[in-house]
Every structure is written in C-alpha cells, then in structure tokens.
Structure 1
Amino acid sequence: MYKVFVNDSPIIFTSSQKKENNFPIYAFDDISFDDVLHKINNLKIDGINLYCTDLLRDWKIFCSHLNIIPAAGGLVVNQKKELLFIYRNNIWDLPKGWIEQGETKEIAAIREVEEECGISNLKLVKPIVTTYHIYYHKGINLKKTYWFLMKSENNKKLTPQTEEGITKVAFKKVSEINEILQNSYANIKLVYDNYQQG
C-alpha cells in the first residue's frame, strides 16, 4: 500500500479489495491522473482509494506524472522520552528537509534536524516510515520523505532556524502529543503512529 497526501487528504493505492475506510474506490486503470487530483482538490472529499491490479506498476505510472523531491527528517526522543517538534506557519511539525546532492538519506536527516533545531550529537536509531505528499511549486511535486528515529542527550538550549520560518523548537511530553497532533499534518500523525507501533 502507498498513501499520498494532498493537503491532508490521502490517496491510498492498494491491491486489497477489503474496504478499510469510507473513501470512494476507483480502479486505477479506469481513472486518469488529472481526475484523481481533481477529485481530491475540488470535490472536498476526505480521501480516495485506488484499487491496483499491479501495485508496483501502477505506483510507478502515478509517479511518472510528478517531480519527485527526496527529503529526510527525524523523530527525536530525549532521555525523558519527550519528542522534538518544530513550530512553523502556526503548525507543529517535525524537522525535515531536502536531501542534497551526494548525501545519503541518513546524513540528510541528521543534518536537517540539527540545522532546524540547533541540536547536536544525534544518534540515528532506525528508519520509521516513508511519507508522500503532493505540493504545487513550478509544477506538481511529490515530496518523498524518509523518517528516522533518533536519540538525543542534548541538554543545551534549542535554537529554531528562523530563516526557515521556524519560530519554536521544543521537546514535548507524551501527555502533550495528542494536542500537538491536532494542529499538525496528516503525514506527521502517520510518522507518530508508526513510531508508537515500534
């Protein structure tokens, strides 16, 4: 299964015929790329299921219509089991950014978290999940973000990267996470859910 967010509405690519949500179902072979984006953007529906007879083939066809932008980021846990969040454009988010030429996704993830949060000495633990979302800038782009679990023993003051529009950086207690996620993006909730599942 692949899940692509357009704003916070998912396009779910699946080879399963089992209905797991209330979204309308379309056969991938019977709907065009433009129709999918029109439905999700203009019909104000919460999501779409695309049934695929060949999931990998259909995913590649879908991606061929988009500029793929690789990115990487981290979910950082400190010694108190608190999680690191950034606040940008009045929304709580996780630190992430584009993978630069010649970088591995792991190095990019650590670099982006360090730059955006003013933190250092991060330890990369393991991959969590890869998320996808479509955005419009000089064409239709698909941001593919590789997320990693990281550990931090940082006791220094965190510094938001204000030139990137980040106004706050903070470790948040587990008891605060549900409220944070109410003012966040659907793909950030997906990262957190995968983290919780281990």
Structure 2
Amino acid sequence: MYKVFVNDKPLFLTNEVAKETDFQLFLLESVDIEQLIVKMFNNKIKKAYLYYPDEKEILKKVKEKIPVKRAGGGLVYNNKGEVLFIFRNGKWDLPKGGCEKNEEIEDSAIREVEEETGVDQLKITKKLQKTYHVFKRNGKYRLKITHWYEMKTNFTGTPIPQENEGIEKVAWLNPEQIKEAMKNSYENIKLLFEEENVYNEQ
C-alpha cells in the first residue's frame, strides 16, 4: 500500500478492500483523479482509498493519470546528533527539491540541502523511504515523489536559509525540539521520523 498526501490528507493506494467505513473508496480504473484531488484540497474528502487489484502496477497506473515530479531530500545529522530543519510557509520541513535534467537523485538531494540551508560536507549514510504528495503548480496537479536520504555532516558554521525559495529559517533541532516541531510539520515528514525512530535516540 502507498500513502499519498493531498493537502496533508491521506490518499491510500491499495489492492485490498477494507471493511472500515470512515473513508471513501474509489476504483482507480474509473475515477476522475483530478476531481478527487480537488475535493481533497477543498476539504470535502478527509481520507480516501484508491483501489486497484494489482499492487505492483498501482503506482504506475496513478502516474499515467497525473504527471510526476521527482525530488530528493535529506534528513541530516550533525556531530551532536541534531537534525537539520527548515521553516517555510509556516511549517517545519526538511530540505528537499526537484531533480534537474540528467541528475542522479542522490546528487539532487545533496545539492538541494546545500542550496536551501548553506550546509555542506554532506555524506549520504543510508537511503530512507520515499514519500508521495500532490501539489499544484501553474493550475496543474502533480505527484511529487521524494527520495529521502539520511546524511551526516561535520559542518560547524551557521546555516543560511535560501530566502528566494521562501525559507525563513534553518535550525538544528535536538530530539526534544523535533517532537515539538512535529506538531507543526507535514504528514510525510512525520512518516520519516517514525521510520527513523529519532525520538528514542539519546
């Protein structure tokens, strides 16, 4: 099962029909995906399931219906075990950004972290899960698939927010501060921290 966030609300891509009733179920083959997305953006639908019998093909089918944008991002630790965050659009987020033409996704992730935060000396230590969310650009909806990487850095300078990208501040947060930041972050970022189990370290 895949979890795609539309305006921070979950759209599950599934090959199982569950018996729960707190959501709407749509058939991927026949759904007007744009209409469904619009309803989720307008808070008419809080949670939905898109059903398709073949789980291996389900993401491919969605990609046929909505253009995909690939992005790379980093969950970056410094030597103190703090994590690098950016603050943009009133929420805490992790640095990430779109892939340039012919660029390897790992290179995109490192480049975007450097550009958005001014932090360098980055080294990828492991691949994390991908996250999926729908955004609107120039009146069109797109599915952003972000490839996340855990990174380490020996950087000790002052991070610099990339203001022309709307980033207001960059901060290193410890596990206690991360807990607080998660109250004002995005659902796909929370997923990463659940996977990483950052809170329970230290």
Moved more, 133-142 or 19-28: 19-28
SS in 1 for 2:157: coil
Deviation at 1:18, TM superposition (A): 4.6
Deviation at 1:36, TM superposition (A): 2.6
In 2, Cα distance between equivalents of 1:146 and 1:98: 10
In 1, Cα distance between equivalents of 2:156 and 2:13: 42
Deviation at 1:25, TM superposition (A): 3.0
Residues 1:135 and 2:135 are matched in the alignment:
yes
SS in 2 for 1:5: strand
Residues 1:156 and 2:120 are matched in the alignment:
no
**For residues 17-68 of structure 1, what are the alpha-carbon distances to aligned partners after superposition, in whole Å with 9 as ceiling and x for unaligned?**
4568943333434533244324423453321122321123332222112221
RMSD, matched Cα: 2.0
Deviation at 1:89, TM superposition (A): 1.8
Matches within 5 A, 1:32-71: 32-42=32-42, 44-71=44-71
With normalisation by structure 1, the TM-score equals 0.90
SS in 1 for 2:65: coil
In 1, Cα distance between equivalents of 2:162 and 2:174: 22
Is the Cα contact below 8 Å between 2:115 and 2:162 reproduced in 1? Answer: yes
Moved more, 42-51 or 112-121: 42-51
In structure 2, give the amino acid aligned to 1:163: N
In 2, Cα distance between equivalents of 1:20 and 1:158: 46
In 1, Cα distance between equivalents of 2:51 and 2:175: 36
Deviation at 1:110, TM superposition (A): 0.6
**For residues 112-136 of structure 1, what are the alpha-carbon distances to aligned partners after superposition, in whole Å with 9 as ceiling and x for unaligned?**
1011111111110111111111111
In 2, Cα distance between equivalents of 1:19 and 1:116: 44
Residues 1:176 and 2:186 are matched in the alignment:
no
In structure 2, give the amino acid aligned to 1:191: L
SS in 1 for 2:189: helix
The alpha-carbon distance between structure 1 residues 38 and 159, as it changes in their structure 2 partners (threshold 3 A), is: closer
> How many aligned residue pairs are there?
197
In 2, Cα distance between equivalents of 1:106 and 1:144: 14
SS in 1 for 2:134: strand
Is the Cα contact below 8 Å between 2:7 and 2:40 reproduced in 1? Answer: no
Give the aligned partner of residue 7 of structure 1: 7
With normalisation by structure 2, the TM-score equals 0.88
Give the aligned partner of residue 187 of structure 2: 186
Unaligned runs of 5+ in 1: none
